[in-house]
A and B are shown apart, each in its own frame.
Chain A
Amino acid sequence: RKEVEQDPGPFNVPEGATVAFNCTYSNSASQSFFWYRQDCRKEPKLLMSVYSSGNEDGRFTAQLNRASQYISLLIRDSKLSDSATYLCVVNMLNGGSQGNLIFGKGTKLSVKP
């Protein structure tokens, strides 16, 4: 079983739509969780961290279910500028070396006018 799995998409949605991405991880000892955004031919950039209690940043909501080893990202009122690949990232330890970071392959989102 792959360590971090995501639906590769692409998700093609109209502007204004709500879209949800899912991610599962295999190591129950994983400690911290993130969603990164990677635009075409660009480097990944942090979108948001994911906390056990769930967290929201504007139109973006992230949730974590440790029992199911499942992370989600919800985007409301999609904008054209949301078109990108969304990477699920899991760290086996809090802080410290990136040697424990596991990246998903990413889910591609395309928002159409």
Chain B
Amino acid sequence: DSGVTQTPKHLITATGQRVTLRCSPRSGDLSVYWYQQSLDQGLQFLIQYYNGEERAKGNILERFSAQQFPDLHSELNLSSLELGDSALYFCASSPRTSGSGELFFGEGSRLTVL
């Protein structure tokens, strides 16, 4: 158990819909990272937050947005969903803002868009 909690574990929805994925980082960790992993693909970095502020942006679509709240939990919002958005979405947390690659990953949220 990494200490990172992601909900929901599974989610099935239809094209055009909007969903919110939630991540609770390990106690005390200020950084949260979001990744997307499509079937048999590598991990695609989406975005990173540190103590409520966006710190790095990867290949995140404009239809996707994220935020980190004062209690440090984070949410990833996916809108106007397309079939290609079906994937595993991982959240990871880290105690540092940068310079440390030791990330602790959650078990992921599996999104299926029909």
Chains A and B form a bound pair: no
